[in-house]
Structure 1
């Protein structure tokens, strides 16, 4: 048998690229129409199951799972997962299906993907993350699910070390305050977000000449006394911001609150709560408190639930 014949045999054994592309497109079309029955019928055939993780489509080629997640088609998404769809597959933008579900604000799809084992932090190759996206959009329900499944509460934009600047410290806590999402702001603090610097990377902080605290940012952008009070309650260093008191700031309720905190000692209950809070592990602080063998009223107090 000649080498040419061997090559021809091997080429016949390989699946045809056009056929694979066609199968992937049919799967994507079924997802686009949210046709769960058709999708199930297609995936009952071997040739379609082999293509469940292939990308197709115009512009940005995507997998069927990514299409289902971005469009919020839960039934199709569940069928694809049941037939072996890769839960953390990436598109050309390094976005996972979970990231697109968060961006589309499809809570049910987010929950299904997280239960299937999706990485709550998204892809390390993408500059953004699901938590940053949810904090910016003010979607507290999605943010709560991400944090409950172990997402990094102090995640920061992914930029190279040489490009480190003040922007690098603008994590989800900073973003939720800038966009006025108080519920997300509190939720992040409840799950252990750093109340001082919205960045815990000491190497990055050392590269920035004047890193701003979250308190400074809240005062500068007029976030209101609710944000200041939450930061104080969660142990922010009230002496870090350098305040310049003039006629305008004297009338500022947030500044007045901060100045009061600088001269008045914290109540004993507040100090005890902070001490217990710092003793708990960084991840899933609220879940850890819920597991404590103490009355519910004390759990609510420790969790800052009124």
Structure 2
């Protein structure tokens, strides 16, 4: 993150002068949420002075809003109560994480659904280098990933790094991550929602700065993801000619690499047949 981004985050988190007087109310709200005490939270939020504090941050260590606390602990009823009383759905903590991000990280599907229905940004915060989709893909949370994509989350990585960085890891998006962690169903779901089957990155500027960007096919071969991953990539339009594959002894023992070489041969035959047909016309 740039110094400007960091300054922006801290300016968002700085309490206003009139908010400092309400610290006690904010702490009481947070305690009710932490204990998942729906009755107490309802009673507190029935009073104006507590409703006024619904978006204040409190707590030891990293101050957080009551909504962020409810999302991270999976306390659905408290989360819904806070939203109904004006909690900011995309409020940030000091790490630039939204309540949705923490709900995804905590694997709380019901809270994820509630936040998305309340209008939470499915891509999380632009100030955070990670995203809810990347987290769900890494953890193999198929149901959560499906909800995020259904609500319009970016299926390909959008690098949130300074312009001077030119690292291939910046283009390792959800598709790549799901393959490396062996989450085949997540991998398939991402492709079904339009993930780029070649580079899994839609930033041409980023790709141009990397000397030898690796395709998803190549990375799947390198990490031994198996033929089912290769077949899915081919079925969804990945170029079989981009990865570097040699037919040595090791390759012949690799079912995934053999599948890719077979696809190349079949593609070459189809192309040859088309050229012959054109020649004879």
TM-score, structure 1 length as denominator? 0.80
> Match for residue 11 of structure 1?
11
Deviations 1:227-255 (Å, cap 9, x if unpaired)? 00000000000011111222111111101
The Cα of 1:135 is off from its aligned counterpart by 0.5
> What is the total number of aligned residue pairs between the two structures?
273
How has the CA–CA distance of structure 1 residues 132 and 271 changed in structure 2, closer, same or farther, with 3 Å as cutoff?
farther
User: What SS does the aligned partner of 1:161 have?
Assistant: coil
Deviations 1:59-98 (Å, cap 9, x if unpaired)? 1100000000000000000000000000000011110000
The Cα of 1:272 is off from its aligned counterpart by 18
The Cα of 1:13 is off from its aligned counterpart by 23
1-side partners of 2:42 and 2:149: how far apart?
A: 32
1-side partners of 2:164 and 2:12: how far apart?
A: 50
The Cα of 1:132 is off from its aligned counterpart by 0.4
TM-score, structure 2 length as denominator? 0.87
How has the CA–CA distance of structure 1 residues 74 and 13 changed in structure 2, closer, same or farther, with 3 Å as cutoff?
closer
> Match for residue 121 of structure 1?
123
2-side partners of 1:92 and 1:22: how far apart?
A: 20
How has the CA–CA distance of structure 1 residues 219 and 34 changed in structure 2, closer, same or farther, with 3 Å as cutoff?
same
How has the CA–CA distance of structure 1 residues 126 and 7 changed in structure 2, closer, same or farther, with 3 Å as cutoff?
closer
1-side partners of 2:4 and 2:133: how far apart?
A: 54
Structure 2 unpaired stretches of 5+: none
2-side partners of 1:219 and 1:3: how far apart?
A: 39
2-side partners of 1:76 and 1:104: how far apart?
A: 16
User: Which stretch of structure 1 is more off in the superposition, 239-248 or 78-87?
Assistant: 239-248
Please say if residues 230 and 260 of structure 2, whose CA atoms lie closer than 8 Å, have aligned partners that are also in contact. Answer: yes
User: What SS does the aligned partner of 1:118 have?
Assistant: coil
How has the CA–CA distance of structure 1 residues 126 and 225 changed in structure 2, closer, same or farther, with 3 Å as cutoff?
same
User: Which stretch of structure 1 is more off in the superposition, 47-56 or 157-166?
Assistant: 157-166
1-side partners of 2:250 and 2:187: how far apart?
A: 26
Deviations 1:186-229 (Å, cap 9, x if unpaired)? 01000000000111111111000000000000001100000000
User: Which stretch of structure 1 is more off in the superposition, 246-255 or 146-155?
Assistant: 246-255
How has the CA–CA distance of structure 1 residues 225 and 112 changed in structure 2, closer, same or farther, with 3 Å as cutoff?
same
How has the CA–CA distance of structure 1 residues 33 and 93 changed in structure 2, closer, same or farther, with 3 Å as cutoff?
same
Per chain length, whose mean CA-contact separation is higher, i.e. which structure has more relative contact order (CA < 8 Å, sep 6+)?
2
Please say if residues 170 and 199 of structure 1, whose CA atoms lie closer than 8 Å, have aligned partners that are also in contact. Answer: yes
1-side partners of 2:83 and 2:171: how far apart?
A: 36
1-side partners of 2:200 and 2:261: how far apart?
A: 22
